Amino acid sequence: MKTLISSDWARRLKILLAGTALSLSVINLGAGEVWANSKNQIIAQQIQTLQQSERRWIQINLSKQRLIAWEGNKVVYGAKISSGKKSTPTRIGTFKIQSKLKSTRMRGRGYDVPNVPHAMFYEGNYGIHGAYWHKRFGTPVSHGCVNLAPKHAQWLFKWASLGTPVVIHK
């Protein structure tokens, strides 16, 4: 069979199954081999790659409602979080810190919160930040962001730099 594009190519597919989106990466290796990786497999591979490096990175486990700060394969900090509730979930995937603000106002449907401390945005308006307005860490209560107690957010803000990888999984 004649190949229309180069022998090495990758394509991402999104499939909707019973209301649940499944993300696949399909890789053609040229010799008729095709690999399909679920989002969970991609995240697991990214974690393994980061643990084999010396890089600083942030892991957010939504099932455990925990954030862990890593330097390669060494844990350097951990804290309870509050992620998004079912109606406003926290996105799963691999991201990088894109901007940092010591304090900001956050507005959205049903909320308007001034002076949000130590905000680090990793995708659009999704970020990791301090939350002084509740103490329900360990429970999903946010509008999609990752909430930390202000003292934990401050530590993470000082430790992480722009470009720091953020891995979010269930």
Residue 130 phi/psi, 5-degree rounding, is -70, 150
Residue count (the chain): 170
Contact of 142 with 88, CB cutoff 8 Å? yes
Cα–Cα distance between 80 and 130 in angstroms, integer?
A: 12
Position 26 pLDDT exceeds 90: no
| 129: annotated active-site residue | yes
Position 27 pLDDT exceeds 90: no
Position 14 pLDDT exceeds 80: no
| 143: annotated active-site residue | no
Exactly one of 118, 143, 145, 152 is catalytic; which is it? 145
Q: Tens digits of per-residue pLDDT, 118-151?
A: 999 999 999 999 999 999 999 999 999 999 999 9
Of 60 and 15, which is predicted with more confidence? 60
Q: Tell me what pLDDT residue 1 has.
A: 34
pLDDT interval class at 81 (50, 70, 90): very high
The average pLDDT across 86-105 equals 98
- Please state the domain extents for the chain: 39-169
Cα–Cα distance between 137 and 145 in angstroms, integer?
A: 13
Cα–Cα distance between 130 and 149 in angstroms, integer?
A: 5
Residue 162 phi/psi, 5-degree rounding, is -55, 140
Topology given in CATH for the domain delimited by 39-169: L,D-transpeptidase catalytic domain-like (2.40.440)
Position 11 pLDDT exceeds 90: no
Exactly one of 118, 129, 143, 152 is catalytic; which is it? 129
